[in-house]
Amino acid sequence: MKAGNGCHLHLSLWRNGENLLPTAAGDLSPLARSFAAGILHHLPALMAITTPSPNSYRRLQPHFWSGAFRCWGIDNREAALRVPTNPQLPRPTHIELKTIDASANPYLALSAVIAAGLDGIRRQLDPGDPVAIDPGNLPDSERQQRRIERLPVNLGEAIEPLKQDAVLLTAFQPELAQAFLAVRQAEWTAMQGMTLDAEVQLLLERY
Protein backbone atom coordinates (compact mmCIF):
# COMPACT_ATOMS: atom_id res chain seq x y z
CA MET A 1 0.00 0.00 0.00
CA LYS A 2 1.20 3.51 -0.85
CA ALA A 3 0.10 7.01 0.08
CA GLY A 4 -2.92 8.18 -1.89
CA ASN A 5 -3.88 11.50 -3.39
CA GLY A 6 -6.19 13.55 -1.19
CA CYS A 7 -7.81 16.94 -1.60
CA HIS A 8 -6.85 18.86 1.52
CA LEU A 9 -8.88 21.83 2.74
CA HIS A 10 -7.04 24.99 3.84
CA LEU A 11 -8.85 27.52 6.02
CA SER A 12 -8.12 30.83 7.69
CA LEU A 13 -10.23 33.25 9.75
CA TRP A 14 -10.57 36.88 8.69
CA ARG A 15 -12.29 40.04 9.94
CA ASN A 16 -11.98 43.46 8.31
CA GLY A 17 -8.97 42.38 6.29
CA GLU A 18 -7.12 40.92 9.30
CA ASN A 19 -6.18 37.27 9.64
CA LEU A 20 -7.46 36.24 13.08
CA LEU A 21 -5.63 32.92 13.15
CA PRO A 22 -2.23 33.97 14.66
CA THR A 23 -1.32 35.95 17.73
CA ALA A 24 1.44 38.54 17.72
CA ALA A 25 3.65 35.98 19.45
CA GLY A 26 3.20 33.52 16.59
CA ASP A 27 0.79 31.10 18.25
CA LEU A 28 -2.77 30.19 17.37
CA SER A 29 -5.23 32.71 18.75
CA PRO A 30 -7.89 31.52 21.23
CA LEU A 31 -10.46 32.02 18.46
CA ALA A 32 -8.49 29.84 16.06
CA ARG A 33 -7.94 27.18 18.72
CA SER A 34 -11.67 27.00 19.35
CA PHE A 35 -12.39 26.84 15.62
CA ALA A 36 -9.91 23.98 15.26
CA ALA A 37 -11.37 22.25 18.31
CA GLY A 38 -14.84 22.37 16.77
CA ILE A 39 -13.58 20.66 13.62
CA LEU A 40 -11.85 17.97 15.67
CA HIS A 41 -14.92 17.47 17.87
CA HIS A 42 -17.18 16.86 14.87
CA LEU A 43 -14.58 15.14 12.68
CA PRO A 44 -15.89 11.54 12.88
CA ALA A 45 -19.29 12.77 11.64
CA LEU A 46 -17.73 15.23 9.19
CA MET A 47 -15.98 12.37 7.45
CA ALA A 48 -19.26 11.06 6.05
CA ILE A 49 -19.30 14.38 4.16
CA THR A 50 -15.61 15.06 3.50
CA THR A 51 -14.63 11.44 2.70
CA PRO A 52 -18.00 10.16 1.48
CA SER A 53 -17.12 7.16 -0.68
CA PRO A 54 -16.23 3.66 0.52
CA ASN A 55 -13.00 4.01 -1.43
CA SER A 56 -12.03 7.12 0.55
CA TYR A 57 -11.07 5.02 3.52
CA ARG A 58 -8.41 3.04 1.70
CA ARG A 59 -6.30 6.20 1.78
CA LEU A 60 -6.97 7.04 5.42
CA GLN A 61 -4.32 4.81 6.93
CA PRO A 62 -1.70 5.49 9.61
CA HIS A 63 1.74 6.59 8.38
CA PHE A 64 0.42 7.80 4.99
CA TRP A 65 0.09 11.57 5.62
CA SER A 66 -3.69 11.23 5.42
CA GLY A 67 -4.77 12.13 8.95
CA ALA A 68 -5.96 8.80 10.31
CA PHE A 69 -6.08 10.03 13.92
CA ARG A 70 -8.18 12.74 15.53
CA CYS A 71 -5.57 15.25 16.65
CA TRP A 72 -3.86 18.44 15.52
CA GLY A 73 -0.23 19.42 15.23
CA ILE A 74 2.17 22.09 14.09
CA ASP A 75 3.37 20.98 10.66
CA ASN A 76 2.53 17.38 11.59
CA ARG A 77 1.51 15.65 8.36
CA GLU A 78 0.09 12.68 10.26
CA ALA A 79 -2.39 14.79 12.23
CA ALA A 80 -5.88 15.15 10.80
CA LEU A 81 -5.69 18.90 11.39
CA ARG A 82 -2.33 20.49 10.56
CA VAL A 83 -1.01 24.00 11.09
CA PRO A 84 1.51 24.46 8.27
CA THR A 85 4.69 26.41 8.93
CA ASN A 86 6.75 28.55 6.60
CA PRO A 87 10.25 29.86 7.46
CA GLN A 88 9.45 33.07 5.60
CA LEU A 89 6.27 33.64 7.65
CA PRO A 90 6.98 33.57 11.39
CA ARG A 91 3.28 33.29 12.29
CA PRO A 92 0.79 30.60 11.23
CA THR A 93 -1.54 31.83 8.51
CA HIS A 94 -3.99 28.94 8.06
CA ILE A 95 -4.96 25.42 9.08
CA GLU A 96 -5.23 22.35 6.88
CA LEU A 97 -7.80 19.57 7.15
CA LYS A 98 -6.36 16.38 5.66
CA THR A 99 -9.36 14.05 5.92
CA ILE A 100 -11.07 15.14 2.72
CA ASP A 101 -10.84 13.96 -0.87
CA ALA A 102 -12.14 14.70 -4.35
CA SER A 103 -15.19 12.45 -4.02
CA ALA A 104 -16.68 15.03 -1.64
CA ASN A 105 -19.14 17.68 -2.76
CA PRO A 106 -16.95 20.78 -2.18
CA TYR A 107 -19.88 23.01 -1.23
CA LEU A 108 -21.30 20.57 1.33
CA ALA A 109 -17.87 19.70 2.70
CA LEU A 110 -16.81 23.31 3.18
CA SER A 111 -20.13 24.35 4.71
CA ALA A 112 -20.03 21.41 7.15
CA VAL A 113 -16.45 22.14 8.21
CA ILE A 114 -17.29 25.82 8.77
CA ALA A 115 -20.37 24.85 10.82
CA ALA A 116 -18.20 22.56 12.95
CA GLY A 117 -15.58 25.26 13.49
CA LEU A 118 -18.17 27.89 14.40
CA ASP A 119 -19.68 25.47 16.91
CA GLY A 120 -16.25 25.23 18.50
CA ILE A 121 -16.10 29.03 18.75
CA ARG A 122 -19.61 29.28 20.23
CA ARG A 123 -18.78 26.66 22.86
CA GLN A 124 -15.21 27.88 23.40
CA LEU A 125 -13.86 24.37 22.89
CA ASP A 126 -10.16 23.68 23.36
CA PRO A 127 -8.24 21.34 21.02
CA GLY A 128 -5.72 20.30 23.68
CA ASP A 129 -1.99 20.20 23.14
CA PRO A 130 -0.61 19.83 19.62
CA VAL A 131 0.84 16.44 18.70
CA ALA A 132 4.42 16.71 17.48
CA ILE A 133 5.01 13.11 16.36
CA ASP A 134 3.28 10.47 14.27
CA PRO A 135 0.37 9.37 16.49
CA GLY A 136 0.46 5.97 14.82
CA ASN A 137 3.79 5.33 16.54
CA LEU A 138 2.39 5.92 20.03
CA PRO A 139 1.33 3.00 22.24
CA ASP A 140 -2.44 2.57 22.55
CA SER A 141 -2.26 3.52 26.22
CA GLU A 142 -0.56 6.84 25.47
CA ARG A 143 -2.97 7.66 22.66
CA GLN A 144 -5.85 7.00 25.05
CA GLN A 145 -4.27 9.17 27.73
CA ARG A 146 -3.79 12.01 25.25
CA ARG A 147 -7.29 11.49 23.78
CA ILE A 148 -5.93 10.75 20.31
CA GLU A 149 -8.56 8.58 18.66
CA ARG A 150 -8.44 6.51 15.49
CA LEU A 151 -10.91 8.03 13.07
CA PRO A 152 -13.57 5.94 11.29
CA VAL A 153 -12.04 3.21 9.14
CA ASN A 154 -14.97 2.93 6.75
CA LEU A 155 -17.96 4.92 5.55
CA GLY A 156 -20.35 2.99 7.77
CA GLU A 157 -18.43 4.08 10.86
CA ALA A 158 -18.68 7.73 9.75
CA ILE A 159 -22.39 7.62 8.92
CA GLU A 160 -23.38 6.63 12.46
CA PRO A 161 -21.94 9.73 14.23
CA LEU A 162 -23.37 11.96 11.49
CA LYS A 163 -26.85 10.60 12.26
CA GLN A 164 -26.39 11.89 15.83
CA ASP A 165 -24.69 15.21 15.04
CA ALA A 166 -27.32 17.89 15.52
CA VAL A 167 -24.95 20.73 14.57
CA LEU A 168 -24.11 19.34 11.13
CA LEU A 169 -27.63 18.11 10.40
CA THR A 170 -29.06 21.49 11.36
CA ALA A 171 -26.55 23.22 9.09
CA PHE A 172 -27.80 21.09 6.20
CA GLN A 173 -31.49 21.66 7.03
CA PRO A 174 -33.86 18.67 7.42
CA GLU A 175 -34.60 17.90 3.77
CA LEU A 176 -30.97 17.94 2.60
CA ALA A 177 -29.77 16.13 5.73
CA GLN A 178 -32.29 13.33 5.23
CA ALA A 179 -31.46 12.96 1.54
CA PHE A 180 -27.70 13.03 2.15
CA LEU A 181 -27.84 10.37 4.84
CA ALA A 182 -30.12 8.19 2.73
CA VAL A 183 -27.74 8.32 -0.25
CA ARG A 184 -24.64 7.64 1.85
CA GLN A 185 -26.33 4.72 3.62
CA ALA A 186 -27.57 3.24 0.36
CA GLU A 187 -24.15 3.55 -1.23
CA TRP A 188 -22.44 1.97 1.77
CA THR A 189 -24.92 -0.91 1.81
CA ALA A 190 -24.66 -1.51 -1.93
CA MET A 191 -20.87 -1.37 -2.18
CA GLN A 192 -19.85 -3.41 0.86
CA GLY A 193 -19.83 -6.66 -1.10
CA MET A 194 -18.26 -5.30 -4.29
CA THR A 195 -14.93 -6.51 -5.57
CA LEU A 196 -12.26 -3.86 -5.92
CA ASP A 197 -12.41 -4.06 -9.72
CA ALA A 198 -16.16 -3.51 -9.72
CA GLU A 199 -15.84 -0.60 -7.31
CA VAL A 200 -13.11 1.02 -9.39
CA GLN A 201 -15.23 0.74 -12.53
CA LEU A 202 -18.20 2.34 -10.76
CA LEU A 203 -16.10 5.18 -9.41
CA LEU A 204 -14.48 5.85 -12.79
CA GLU A 205 -17.92 6.21 -14.35
CA ARG A 206 -19.21 8.36 -11.50
CA TYR A 207 -16.25 10.70 -10.97
Query: How many beta carbons lie within 10 A of that of residue 132, not counting itself?
Result: 11
pLDDT tens digit sequence for 91-129 = 899 999 999 998 999 999 999 999 999 999 999 999 999
Residue 25 has what pLDDT?
A: 85
Task: Give the domains, in start order, of the chain with CATH numbers.
Answer: 9-206 (3.30.590.10)
pLDDT beneath 50, residues of the chain:
none
Q: Give, in degrees to the nearest 5, the angle at Cα 107 between 154 and 117.
A: 75
How far apart are alpha carbons 27 and 48 in whole angstroms?
31
